[in-house]
Copies of this chain bind each other. A is one copy, B any other.
């Protein structure tokens, strides 16, 4: 039997992360303050430790992964690279479909890949507490896990509607020792103001971010941690693609196309950038490599957004970043892939997309669940709704290979399992799930509210 699960030993965990900033065809646009001045490292120091700020700004190609971080990674990494032979057979495709399975982490997704180093660097900087926000719960549970591993207290502001609807995710964070509060809370000025204005508010990710940042900025022993979008997060996630490259080396293959769901950009950048690094380095095998970001058609920041300066958060607290955006106050439809409901995109993914080096496609919700269920029935694993986006695109790619007869090697990022998302599958099976159209009018409105400073480019 040919191997279908390609495993690595603990000593094969990469020792360095890959930073695509070193290989960008043109210098990245700097983050700006609302007054137009570049954001400085000092200004970020109120909420981030020095090592994280350095990584955010770094143009070094390789950044060493601390030994203590790799020791924690050994609890579940290296993650398996799996050939989906039963899915291939069910599709009748000549394509070879591989997935990198990040659901093996205790929190069930790729998010701990960044939560662990963030907790480590904060502890190294003498920080004792971390705050963050969480919507669907993937990031919050990952930071709870990471904080526990390094002896940090973790306080999580969980969007009220999720806090009430997803008690199991909340319990998971509490099992790892984190404090979880429904946001808006009475613990912060922002929260109290929001509650006074609308006591029955369901909360929002923007509000929860504001609460977490307010608390971190106001306490010397406390920092804030973000789970996507920023470059240091994308750097940390490069471990996915770096491991996958080693795994492909073991079987003498190389992907023709790398596919990942796209929300803030860290799972896409994480798996695709190391391969794009090969391409930048002139590696023959990567000459025709395609990297495909898959976003929900109801929140199509890359395929329908504008490439311009915008805030990273809904409330306008962060520096302005040049990125594809639907407008920072655009409110995406309530799709079940909560991790993909983000108005913007990582600066690095945005620049590469703008320069034509990566591709993007938008897919409707129902088609992603069709793909996820087909996958589960072939390969066993029940995927997270976010991951179903990548599966959809991988299946479509494999079906095109069936038409053309090409035996392409497809790699996708199976970012997590769906154990805490079975309610979404319930609505899918009961026929209650709907597609959401591209909200053109809403996007136009929110783009019209872009910060004035932003240069309008496309």
Binding site for B on A (CB under 8 A): 1, 3-5, 7, 9-11, 70-71, 74-76, 86, 104-108, 145, 148-149, 167-168, 171-172, 174-177, 373, 376-377, 379-382, 419-420, 422-423, 425-426, 429
A175 cross-chain contacts in B, Cβ below 8 A: 373, 376-377, 382, 422, 425, 429
Inter-chain contact B7/A108, CB cutoff 8 Å:
no
Inter-chain contact B74/A176, CB cutoff 8 Å:
no
In the assembled complex, 21 residue pairs joining A and B whose CB atoms fall closer than 8 Å, in A order, are A1-B11, A1-B71, A7-B7, A75-B86, A106-B376, A106-B381, A107-B380, A108-B419, A145-B380, A149-B380, A167-B423, A168-B419, A168-B423, A172-B382, A175-B382, A175-B422, A175-B425, A175-B429, A176-B376, A176-B377, A419-B419
User: Given A7-B9, A9-B7, A380-B145 in contact, is the A422-B167 Cβ separation under 8 Å?
Assistant: yes
User: Given A74-B1, A381-B106 in contact, is the A172-B422 Cβ separation under 8 Å?
Assistant: yes
A148 cross-chain contacts in B, Cβ below 8 A: 377
Nearest-neighbour CB distance to chain B for A241, whole angstroms, equals 21
Interface of A is mostly: helix
In the complex, what distance in Å separates the CA atom of A380 from the CA atom of B104? 11
A11 cross-chain contacts in B, Cβ below 8 A: 1, 3
Nearest-neighbour CB distance to chain B for A33, whole angstroms, equals 39
In the complex, what distance in Å separates the CA atom of A425 from the CA atom of B1? 42
Q: Which of B76, B380, B423 sits near A75, CB closer than 8 Å?
A: B380
A105 cross-chain contacts in B, Cβ below 8 A: 380
Nearest-neighbour CB distance to chain B for A15, whole angstroms, equals 11
In the complex, what distance in Å separates the CA atom of A94 from the CA atom of B377? 45
In the complex, what distance in Å separates the CA atom of A409 from the CA atom of B11? 23
Inter-chain contact A422/B168, CB cutoff 8 Å:
yes
Inter-chain contact A422/B171, CB cutoff 8 Å:
yes
A420 cross-chain contacts in B, Cβ below 8 A: 419
Inter-chain contact B429/A174, CB cutoff 8 Å:
yes
In the complex, what distance in Å separates the CA atom of A381 from the CA atom of B108? 10
A71 cross-chain contacts in B, Cβ below 8 A: 1
In the complex, what distance in Å separates the CA atom of A177 from the CA atom of B9? 35
In the complex, what distance in Å separates the CA atom of A187 from the CA atom of B445? 55
Inter-chain contact A76/B425, CB cutoff 8 Å:
no
Nearest-neighbour CB distance to chain B for A383, whole angstroms, equals 10
In the complex, what distance in Å separates the CA atom of A34 from the CA atom of B19? 72
In the complex, what distance in Å separates the CA atom of A382 from the CA atom of B171? 11
Q: Which residue of B lies closest to A141 (CB)?
A: B382
In the complex, what distance in Å separates the CA atom of A148 from the CA atom of B74? 33
In the complex, what distance in Å separates the CA atom of A130 from the CA atom of B127? 57
Inter-chain contact A177/B377, CB cutoff 8 Å:
yes
In the complex, what distance in Å separates the CA atom of A7 from the CA atom of B422? 30
- A1-B70, A106-B382 given. 20 additional CB < 8 A pairs? A3-B11, A4-B10, A75-B381, A76-B380, A86-B149, A106-B380, A107-B380, A148-B377, A167-B423, A171-B423, A171-B426, A172-B422, A174-B429, A175-B376, A175-B382, A175-B422, A175-B425, A175-B429, A176-B377, A419-B420
Inter-chain contact A75/B379, CB cutoff 8 Å:
yes
In the complex, what distance in Å separates the CA atom of A81 from the CA atom of B422? 29
In the complex, what distance in Å separates the CA atom of A3 from the CA atom of B71? 10
A425 cross-chain contacts in B, Cβ below 8 A: 171, 174-175
Inter-chain contact B5/A74, CB cutoff 8 Å:
yes
Nearest-neighbour CB distance to chain B for A154, whole angstroms, equals 12
Q: Which residue of B lies closest to A76 (CB)?
A: B380
In the complex, what distance in Å separates the CA atom of A57 from the CA atom of B76? 40
A376 cross-chain contacts in B, Cβ below 8 A: 106, 175-176
Nearest-neighbour CB distance to chain B for A124, whole angstroms, equals 19
User: Given A167-B422, A373-B175, A382-B106 in contact, is the A3-B9 Cβ separation under 8 Å?
Assistant: yes
Nearest-neighbour CB distance to chain B for A167, whole angstroms, equals 7
Nearest-neighbour CB distance to chain B for A214, whole angstroms, equals 27
Nearest-neighbour CB distance to chain B for A166, whole angstroms, equals 10
Nearest-neighbour CB distance to chain B for A252, whole angstroms, equals 16
User: Given A1-B74, A3-B11, A10-B1 in contact, is the A426-B377 Cβ separation under 8 Å?
Assistant: no
